[in-house]
Amino acid sequence: MKIYIDVLVMENIVMNYLILLLTAKFIRHKTSHLRLFLGALVGAIYVVVLILMPDLKMYYTTLAKFALSLLIIAIAFSPEKLGLFIKTLAVFYVSTFIFAGAAFAFLYLNQTGGFIRNGIVYIWSSKGTTLFFTVATVGIIIKIFWDIVQQRFSKEKLLIPLKIAFGKGTIDLHALVDTGNSLYDPLTNSPVVVVEFNAIKNILPMEIQSIFDEAKENDLDSVTQIVSDSRWLSRFRLIPFTSLGKENGMLIGFRPDYIEVGENTEKKGVTDVIIGIYNRALSKNNNYNALLSPELV
Protein backbone atom coordinates (compact mmCIF):
# COMPACT_ATOMS: atom_id res chain seq x y z
CA MET A 1 0.00 0.00 0.00
CA LYS A 2 1.36 3.40 -1.01
CA ILE A 3 1.03 6.23 1.50
CA TYR A 4 1.42 9.78 0.24
CA ILE A 5 2.93 11.97 2.95
CA ASP A 6 1.28 15.18 1.73
CA VAL A 7 -2.16 13.56 1.81
CA LEU A 8 -1.44 12.02 5.21
CA VAL A 9 -0.36 15.36 6.69
CA MET A 10 -3.29 17.28 5.21
CA GLU A 11 -5.88 14.78 6.42
CA ASN A 12 -4.48 14.65 9.92
CA ILE A 13 -4.22 18.44 10.18
CA VAL A 14 -7.88 18.72 9.14
CA MET A 15 -9.06 16.04 11.56
CA ASN A 16 -6.90 17.33 14.45
CA TYR A 17 -8.08 20.90 13.87
CA LEU A 18 -11.74 19.84 13.92
CA ILE A 19 -11.17 17.82 17.10
CA LEU A 20 -9.57 20.84 18.79
CA LEU A 21 -12.32 23.13 17.51
CA LEU A 22 -14.97 20.80 18.94
CA THR A 23 -13.07 20.72 22.24
CA ALA A 24 -13.07 24.52 22.34
CA LYS A 25 -16.83 24.56 21.71
CA PHE A 26 -17.52 22.02 24.46
CA ILE A 27 -15.47 23.81 27.12
CA ARG A 28 -16.48 27.27 25.81
CA HIS A 29 -12.87 28.40 25.72
CA LYS A 30 -11.86 31.34 23.56
CA THR A 31 -8.70 30.63 21.59
CA SER A 32 -7.34 31.66 18.21
CA HIS A 33 -7.56 29.67 14.99
CA LEU A 34 -3.78 29.96 14.75
CA ARG A 35 -3.31 28.17 18.08
CA LEU A 36 -5.74 25.45 17.01
CA PHE A 37 -3.85 25.05 13.73
CA LEU A 38 -0.49 24.84 15.48
CA GLY A 39 -1.84 22.18 17.83
CA ALA A 40 -3.22 20.25 14.85
CA LEU A 41 0.12 20.59 13.04
CA VAL A 42 2.03 19.11 15.99
CA GLY A 43 -0.27 16.09 15.91
CA ALA A 44 0.27 15.69 12.16
CA ILE A 45 4.06 15.91 12.54
CA TYR A 46 3.88 13.12 15.11
CA VAL A 47 2.07 10.97 12.57
CA VAL A 48 4.76 11.61 9.95
CA VAL A 49 7.45 10.57 12.45
CA LEU A 50 5.59 7.30 13.08
CA ILE A 51 5.38 6.60 9.36
CA LEU A 52 8.94 7.54 8.41
CA MET A 53 10.61 6.04 11.48
CA PRO A 54 8.73 2.83 12.36
CA ASP A 55 11.67 1.51 14.38
CA LEU A 56 11.25 4.24 17.00
CA LYS A 57 8.82 2.15 19.01
CA MET A 58 9.03 4.43 22.01
CA TYR A 59 6.77 6.87 20.12
CA TYR A 60 4.06 4.20 19.86
CA THR A 61 3.72 3.84 23.62
CA THR A 62 0.75 5.07 25.59
CA LEU A 63 3.02 7.37 27.58
CA ALA A 64 4.33 9.02 24.39
CA LYS A 65 0.80 9.58 23.10
CA PHE A 66 -0.30 10.97 26.44
CA ALA A 67 2.65 13.39 26.42
CA LEU A 68 1.68 14.43 22.89
CA SER A 69 -1.87 15.14 24.09
CA LEU A 70 -0.52 17.36 26.87
CA LEU A 71 1.63 19.27 24.37
CA ILE A 72 -1.26 19.76 21.94
CA ILE A 73 -3.55 21.04 24.72
CA ALA A 74 -0.85 23.41 25.97
CA ILE A 75 -0.32 24.83 22.47
CA ALA A 76 -3.99 25.09 21.46
CA PHE A 77 -5.50 26.33 24.75
CA SER A 78 -2.73 27.14 27.28
CA PRO A 79 -4.98 26.49 30.33
CA GLU A 80 -3.75 28.53 33.30
CA LYS A 81 -5.13 26.29 36.06
CA LEU A 82 -4.54 22.57 36.59
CA GLY A 83 -8.27 21.87 36.93
CA LEU A 84 -9.00 23.55 33.62
CA PHE A 85 -6.09 21.68 31.99
CA ILE A 86 -7.46 18.32 33.13
CA LYS A 87 -10.98 19.24 32.03
CA THR A 88 -9.72 20.34 28.61
CA LEU A 89 -7.69 17.15 28.23
CA ALA A 90 -10.70 14.97 29.10
CA VAL A 91 -12.94 16.78 26.62
CA PHE A 92 -10.16 16.53 24.01
CA TYR A 93 -10.16 12.74 24.38
CA VAL A 94 -13.96 12.57 24.18
CA SER A 95 -13.89 14.68 21.00
CA THR A 96 -11.18 12.41 19.57
CA PHE A 97 -13.26 9.29 20.25
CA ILE A 98 -16.29 10.88 18.60
CA PHE A 99 -14.36 11.81 15.46
CA ALA A 100 -12.52 8.50 15.24
CA GLY A 101 -15.74 6.52 15.68
CA ALA A 102 -17.63 8.58 13.12
CA ALA A 103 -14.79 8.40 10.59
CA PHE A 104 -14.44 4.65 11.06
CA ALA A 105 -18.19 4.19 10.61
CA PHE A 106 -18.09 6.11 7.34
CA LEU A 107 -15.13 4.10 6.06
CA TYR A 108 -16.88 0.85 6.95
CA LEU A 109 -20.28 1.75 5.48
CA ASN A 110 -18.84 3.35 2.36
CA GLN A 111 -16.37 0.52 1.77
CA THR A 112 -13.73 3.06 0.83
CA GLY A 113 -9.96 2.73 1.14
CA GLY A 114 -8.34 3.97 4.26
CA PHE A 115 -7.46 3.23 7.85
CA ILE A 116 -7.50 4.69 11.34
CA ARG A 117 -4.78 3.15 13.45
CA ASN A 118 -2.47 4.28 16.26
CA GLY A 119 -3.77 7.82 16.04
CA ILE A 120 -3.19 7.93 12.26
CA VAL A 121 -5.99 8.83 9.84
CA TYR A 122 -5.40 8.00 6.19
CA ILE A 123 -8.06 7.96 3.49
CA TRP A 124 -7.58 7.65 -0.23
CA SER A 125 -10.06 8.06 -3.05
CA SER A 126 -9.65 8.33 -6.79
CA LYS A 127 -12.11 11.20 -6.84
CA GLY A 128 -10.63 12.97 -3.84
CA THR A 129 -14.04 13.33 -2.19
CA THR A 130 -13.81 10.71 0.52
CA LEU A 131 -12.24 13.00 3.11
CA PHE A 132 -14.89 15.64 2.45
CA PHE A 133 -17.76 13.22 3.01
CA THR A 134 -16.01 11.73 6.04
CA VAL A 135 -15.76 15.18 7.64
CA ALA A 136 -19.36 15.94 6.62
CA THR A 137 -20.51 12.71 8.25
CA VAL A 138 -18.61 13.56 11.42
CA GLY A 139 -20.14 17.05 11.35
CA ILE A 140 -23.68 15.68 11.18
CA ILE A 141 -23.04 13.28 14.04
CA ILE A 142 -21.48 16.05 16.13
CA LYS A 143 -24.45 18.36 15.42
CA ILE A 144 -26.91 15.71 16.59
CA PHE A 145 -24.79 14.93 19.66
CA TRP A 146 -24.42 18.64 20.51
CA ASP A 147 -28.17 19.25 20.25
CA ILE A 148 -28.81 16.33 22.62
CA VAL A 149 -26.29 17.67 25.12
CA GLN A 150 -27.76 21.18 24.89
CA GLN A 151 -31.28 19.89 25.50
CA ARG A 152 -30.30 17.52 28.29
CA PHE A 153 -27.85 19.71 30.14
CA SER A 154 -29.16 23.17 29.25
CA LYS A 155 -27.97 26.00 31.49
CA GLU A 156 -30.92 28.23 30.71
CA LYS A 157 -32.13 28.04 34.31
CA LEU A 158 -28.77 28.21 36.02
CA LEU A 159 -28.36 31.18 38.34
CA ILE A 160 -24.86 32.30 39.35
CA PRO A 161 -23.44 35.27 41.27
CA LEU A 162 -22.21 38.21 39.21
CA LYS A 163 -20.13 41.15 40.39
CA ILE A 164 -19.71 44.28 38.25
CA ALA A 165 -17.11 46.98 38.94
CA PHE A 166 -17.27 50.40 37.30
CA GLY A 167 -15.47 53.54 38.41
CA LYS A 168 -15.46 53.59 42.21
CA GLY A 169 -18.51 51.36 42.59
CA THR A 170 -19.27 47.66 42.57
CA ILE A 171 -22.56 45.82 42.50
CA ASP A 172 -23.42 42.19 43.34
CA LEU A 173 -26.38 40.46 41.75
CA HIS A 174 -27.54 37.13 40.31
CA ALA A 175 -27.39 36.34 36.61
CA LEU A 176 -29.19 33.79 34.51
CA VAL A 177 -26.92 31.81 32.17
CA ASP A 178 -28.96 32.17 28.99
CA THR A 179 -28.03 30.12 25.90
CA GLY A 180 -30.20 32.49 23.89
CA ASN A 181 -28.05 35.50 24.77
CA SER A 182 -25.79 35.93 21.74
CA LEU A 183 -25.34 39.70 21.91
CA TYR A 184 -21.93 41.06 20.95
CA ASP A 185 -20.60 44.59 20.80
CA PRO A 186 -20.24 45.31 17.05
CA LEU A 187 -17.09 47.41 17.63
CA THR A 188 -15.02 45.08 19.81
CA ASN A 189 -16.86 41.78 19.33
CA SER A 190 -17.01 41.46 23.12
CA PRO A 191 -19.92 39.52 24.64
CA VAL A 192 -22.69 41.60 26.16
CA VAL A 193 -24.14 40.98 29.63
CA VAL A 194 -27.68 42.38 29.79
CA VAL A 195 -28.41 43.94 33.20
CA GLU A 196 -31.52 45.62 34.63
CA PHE A 197 -31.12 49.35 35.09
CA ASN A 198 -32.54 49.31 38.63
CA ALA A 199 -29.99 46.68 39.66
CA ILE A 200 -27.00 48.65 38.37
CA LYS A 201 -28.24 52.20 38.80
CA ASN A 202 -26.10 53.08 41.81
CA ILE A 203 -22.77 52.65 40.02
CA LEU A 204 -23.75 54.59 36.90
CA PRO A 205 -22.85 58.27 36.34
CA MET A 206 -25.72 60.65 37.15
CA GLU A 207 -26.10 61.77 33.53
CA ILE A 208 -26.52 58.16 32.40
CA GLN A 209 -29.02 57.51 35.20
CA SER A 210 -31.10 60.43 33.95
CA ILE A 211 -31.55 58.78 30.55
CA PHE A 212 -33.34 55.82 32.13
CA ASP A 213 -35.08 57.73 34.92
CA GLU A 214 -36.68 59.94 32.25
CA ALA A 215 -37.24 56.97 29.87
CA LYS A 216 -35.13 58.55 27.13
CA GLU A 217 -33.21 55.38 26.24
CA ASN A 218 -35.11 55.07 22.94
CA ASP A 219 -34.53 58.71 22.01
CA LEU A 220 -31.33 58.34 19.98
CA ASP A 221 -30.71 62.08 19.68
CA SER A 222 -31.00 62.67 23.43
CA VAL A 223 -28.90 59.64 24.28
CA THR A 224 -26.18 60.68 21.84
CA GLN A 225 -26.10 64.21 23.24
CA ILE A 226 -25.96 63.12 26.89
CA VAL A 227 -23.31 60.45 26.31
CA SER A 228 -21.22 62.83 24.18
CA ASP A 229 -21.12 65.36 27.01
CA SER A 230 -20.17 62.74 29.61
CA ARG A 231 -16.57 62.26 30.77
CA TRP A 232 -17.27 58.53 30.39
CA LEU A 233 -17.80 58.90 26.64
CA SER A 234 -15.05 56.40 25.74
CA ARG A 235 -16.64 53.74 27.95
CA PHE A 236 -20.19 53.92 26.57
CA ARG A 237 -21.63 52.72 23.28
CA LEU A 238 -24.87 51.75 21.54
CA ILE A 239 -25.58 48.08 20.90
CA PRO A 240 -28.24 46.96 18.39
CA PHE A 241 -30.42 44.01 19.39
CA THR A 242 -33.40 42.05 18.09
CA SER A 243 -34.48 40.31 21.27
CA LEU A 244 -35.98 41.14 24.65
CA GLY A 245 -39.38 41.49 23.00
CA LYS A 246 -38.29 44.18 20.58
CA GLU A 247 -36.89 44.14 17.08
CA ASN A 248 -34.32 46.63 15.79
CA GLY A 249 -33.80 47.97 19.27
CA MET A 250 -30.78 49.69 20.77
CA LEU A 251 -29.18 49.08 24.16
CA ILE A 252 -26.96 51.58 25.90
CA GLY A 253 -23.87 49.68 26.97
CA PHE A 254 -20.63 50.40 28.78
CA ARG A 255 -17.28 48.74 29.34
CA PRO A 256 -16.85 47.95 33.06
CA ASP A 257 -13.53 47.81 34.87
CA TYR A 258 -14.14 44.08 35.25
CA ILE A 259 -16.78 41.52 36.16
CA GLU A 260 -16.53 38.42 38.35
CA VAL A 261 -18.62 35.38 37.47
CA GLY A 262 -19.30 32.53 39.91
CA GLU A 263 -18.12 32.15 43.47
CA ASN A 264 -15.47 30.52 45.66
CA THR A 265 -12.97 28.38 43.72
CA GLU A 266 -14.91 28.71 40.47
CA LYS A 267 -14.91 32.50 40.50
CA LYS A 268 -13.77 33.88 37.14
CA GLY A 269 -12.66 37.44 36.37
CA VAL A 270 -13.44 38.95 32.96
CA THR A 271 -12.46 42.32 31.51
CA ASP A 272 -13.29 41.83 27.82
CA VAL A 273 -17.03 42.34 28.20
CA ILE A 274 -19.75 44.97 27.71
CA ILE A 275 -22.69 45.63 30.07
CA GLY A 276 -25.95 46.35 28.25
CA ILE A 277 -28.49 48.32 30.32
CA TYR A 278 -32.13 47.18 30.07
CA ASN A 279 -34.83 49.45 31.55
CA ARG A 280 -37.28 46.68 32.41
CA ALA A 281 -37.46 43.67 34.69
CA LEU A 282 -35.83 40.52 33.35
CA SER A 283 -37.41 38.20 35.92
CA LYS A 284 -41.04 38.21 37.06
CA ASN A 285 -40.11 37.03 40.55
CA ASN A 286 -36.84 38.99 40.74
CA ASN A 287 -34.72 35.81 40.95
CA TYR A 288 -32.10 37.35 38.69
CA ASN A 289 -31.21 40.77 37.31
CA ALA A 290 -28.88 39.91 34.42
CA LEU A 291 -28.56 37.64 31.39
CA LEU A 292 -25.17 36.04 30.96
CA SER A 293 -23.75 34.37 27.84
CA PRO A 294 -22.64 30.73 28.47
CA GLU A 295 -19.15 31.50 27.14
CA LEU A 296 -18.51 33.76 30.14
CA VAL A 297 -19.16 30.95 32.63
Buried b (16+ CB within 10 A) or exposed e, 198-213: ebbeebbbeebbebbe
What CA–CA distance (Å, rounded) separates 232 from 186? 19
Q: How many CB atoms lie within 10 A of CB 296?
A: 22
The alpha-helical segments, DSSP class H, found in 156-205 are: 197-200
What CA–CA distance (Å, rounded) separates 133 from 109? 12
Nearest 10 degrees: Cα torsion 177, 19, 113, 106: -10
Active-site position among 55, 147, 172, 178? 178
Q: Is 178 a catalytic residue?
A: yes
What is the SS3 assignment for 66?
Answer: helix
What is the SS3 assignment for 277?
Answer: strand
What CA–CA distance (Å, rounded) separates 294 from 280? 22
Catalytic residues: 178
